[in-house]
Amino acid sequence: MARILIVDDAKFMRLTLTNILKKAAHEVVGEADNGEKAVQLYRQLKPDLVTMDITMPEMSGIEAVRQIKSEFSDAIIIMCSAMGQQKMVVEAIESGAKDFIAKPFDEHRVIDAINRVLKL
């Protein structure tokens, strides 16, 4: 299945996503807790997909999406946002994200979004 990079400043959220993805037979190839690390790891790992939190220290998810998409136009990124961040979700989609999933994560919604953007 897919090789996935998980980006979220909350370890609990990364762990939750890892468990959902592994259960669906995806491989988590890396984790980052801010946008800067996400860009560096993307360059190294070239994952099939990135789940990207919007609000993080050092570099926001939106800035990281812009940076990754500027270097890798074919990057597939799904934004993760808390409810009430619709304006930022729209900005993220306009910056190149393919979809978004809301927190708290619904296992079926996460897998559906991944399957849709990867056309599985």
Q: Show me where the domains of the chain are located.
A: 3-106
Mean pLDDT over each residue of the chain, to the nearest integer: 94
Reduced to 3 states (helix: H, G, I; strand: E, B; else coil), residue 80 is strand
* For residue 84, pLDDT beyond 80: no
Residues 6+ apart with CB under 8 A from 11: 33
* For residue 86, pLDDT beyond 90: no
Nearest to 51 by CA among 43, 74, 42: 42
Q: Tell me the C-alpha to C-alpha distance, in Å, between residue 19 and each of 13, 47, 60, 97.
A: 10, 18, 24, 23
User: Residue 79: which pLDDT band, with cuts at 50, 70 and 90?
Assistant: very high
User: Residue 82: which pLDDT band, with cuts at 50, 70 and 90?
Assistant: confident
pTM value? 0.94
3-106: CATH superfamily = Response regulator (3.40.50.2300)
Q: How confident is the model over 36-54, as pLDDT tens digits?
A: 999 999 999 999 999 999 9
